[in-house]
Structure 1
Amino acid sequence: MRTWSLWSAPTSAAAVVVAAALTISCEEPQVPTFDVVIHVESDPGVPLPGAVLSRENKDVGTTDATGRAKLTVRGNEGSAFDYFVRCPQDYESPPKPITVVLRRVVDKNKPPEYPVSCPPSIRKLVIAVRADGGPNLPITYLQQRVATTDASGSATILLNMRPGDQFELGLDTSMKGYERLRPQNPIFAFQVKPKDEVLPLNAKFSLEKGKIRTGPVRTGPVFIGKKAED
């Protein structure tokens, strides 16, 4: 004969509830996420698209046309993560990673931004030449003619150089007809700064005064008139 316990069903239901509660309590709490923005510029105010962000040797984002890359990072508040920035070709990548620290913000639509600089590895230099009194003069770089001044002594030269480089430009006065021009063959030195620049090259030339040739001075009386015949 089968017998039923009046407490079997309630006891089983209670056990299920307790077991479920224990299961929930044993689950790890959900790790929050934080939004951050990496903002890359080549020069101040000049956004740089195409910079690649990586973490733990994995690419995780690329900057857009505004130079920004938005990242969603999972972790607890106060956690810090290092991101390396790989700049596009012809730009210098920072040697050290940028450290992102997870912080809560008041406005989630304005995540914290971390600025990064990727300066160009090549700088554009415009040399504005003004050679007062030096028309049609060759301008030399590494002993090669790169431009010539016009009739007013003006010229413009565009050079692509690396920051820190030093170079010289010369004004060649060795041509025939320029022997009396002073100074002769002047040289001008420059050093490239970490920015694009317009550099002046100003020179002022003058003509050396020619020497007056004088012959021997005769002394004594000078016969004026027709020479008498013998």
Structure 2
Amino acid sequence: MRTTTIALLGILFVTATAACGEPPAPPATAVLIRAQAENGSPVGGVEVFTGPRLVARTEADGRARLDVRGAEGETFSVQVRCPSGFRSPTAPLPIRNFDVGSSTPAEYSVMCRSLRHTLVVAVRASDGPNLPVFYLGKEVARTDRSGSAHVSMDMEVHDRAQLVLGTGGKENEKIHPQNPAATFEMPDHDDIQVFEMKFTRDKPKVVRKPRPAGPVVF
């Protein structure tokens, strides 16, 4: 009888311990992270971290699946690292745990800004036809009969480029100013800027012929 009582007490103790244990962890909620560039194209190879741990990486379509756990409405923060050639977001990405019963995963967008962009410089040289446009000492364009030209450059953000309108040669020795230059800085997006210059030319000197000597009248 005593043995039976001890056995029953043991069973009750185990049952009570199980009942007072930690509640089961809530199921994971799937969220999607979509990474894209400024032009809307997907960016693959974007890494998602929680602290030092890599938890997801986007595929070629720019999407990655991430499973989060926690109470509904709880917010988590992840760090996003864009691949080489892109600038990563500086602020953490907040992710909120929504209703686990939802059939459509919540989606979060991440912007990876390109470190290189295209700068087009439209040259407008008034009274400056057929002038070479130099970049780093090399001719990259030449103005047409109206004095217009276009230069396209691929540069990193905040890089600077100086263009020079060449006025060398005997045919341009009377044009002013001589070899004007302009500096352009690449913004964080593709851009079009204008290099406008108004030239003046020396007027040809008028040589007056001396009057023939005539009779002196007193």
**TM-score, with structure 1 as normaliser:** 0.75
Gaps of 5+ in 2: none
Query: Which residue of the partner structure matches residue 184 of structure 1?
Result: 178
State which of 69, 74, 77 in structure 1 corresponds to 2:69.
74
Cα RMSD after superposing both structures: 3.3
Aligned pair partner of 1:155 in 149, 160, 163: 149
Distance in structure 2 (CA, Å) of the matches to 1:67 and 1:151: 47
Matches within 5 A, 1:68-217: 68-104=63-99, 107-111=102-106, 113-217=107-211
Deviation at 1:28, TM superposition (A): 2.4
Aligned to 1:54: 49
- How many angstroms apart in 2 are the aligned matches of 1:90 and 1:151? 40
Give the counterpart letter for 2:57 in structure 1: T
Given residue 208 of structure 1, which amino acid in structure 2 is its aligned partner?
D
Q: Specify the code of the residue in structure 1 equivalent to 2:36.
A: E
Give CA-to-partner distance per residue, 1:62-81, whole Å, 9 cap, x none. Answer: 12334222201122234443
How does 1:30-41 map onto structure 2 within 5 Å? 30-32=24-26, 33-41=28-36
Distance 2:116 2:194 in 1: 20
Distance 1:28 1:108 in 2: 28
- Quick one: distance in 2 between partners of 1:146 and 1:63? 39
- Give the 3-state SS of the residue equivalent to 1:60 in structure 2: strand
Provide the rounded CA distance (Å) in 2 between the counterparts of 1:103 and 1:74.
Answer: 10
Cα deviation for residue 109 of structure 1 reads 0.7
Asked if the contact 1:166/1:191 (under 8 Å) is kept, the reply is yes
Identity of aligned residues (%): 37
Unaligned runs of 5+ in 1: 223-230
**What is the TM-score with the length of structure 2 in the denominator?**
0.78
Query: Comparing 12-21 with 195-204, which one deviates more in the overlay?
Result: 12-21
**Is the CA contact 1:52–1:59 (under 8 Å) kept in the aligned structure 2?**
yes
Q: Secondary structure of 2:170's partner?
A: coil
1:41-66 deviations in whole A, cap 9, x for unaligned? 22163332221112231211112334
Secondary structure in structure 2 of the residue aligned to 1:177: helix
Matched residue SS, 2:120: strand
Q: Give the aligned length.
A: 215
Is the 2:29–2:100 Cα contact (8 Å) retained in structure 1? Answer: no
Q: Please say if residues 134 and 153 of structure 1, whose CA atoms lie closer than 8 Å, have aligned partners that are also in contact.
A: yes
Question: How far has the Cα of 1:210 moved from its partner?
Answer: 0.6
- Secondary structure of 2:19's aligned partner: helix
- Which stretch of structure 1 is more off in the superposition, 197-206 or 62-71? 197-206
Partner of 1:42: 37
Change (3 A) 1:106 1:98: same
- State the secondary structure of the residue aligned to 2:114: coil
Judge conservation of contact 1:31–1:76 (CA < 8 Å) in 2: no
Conserved? CA contact 1:125–1:198, under 8 Å: yes
Letter in 2 for 1:100: I
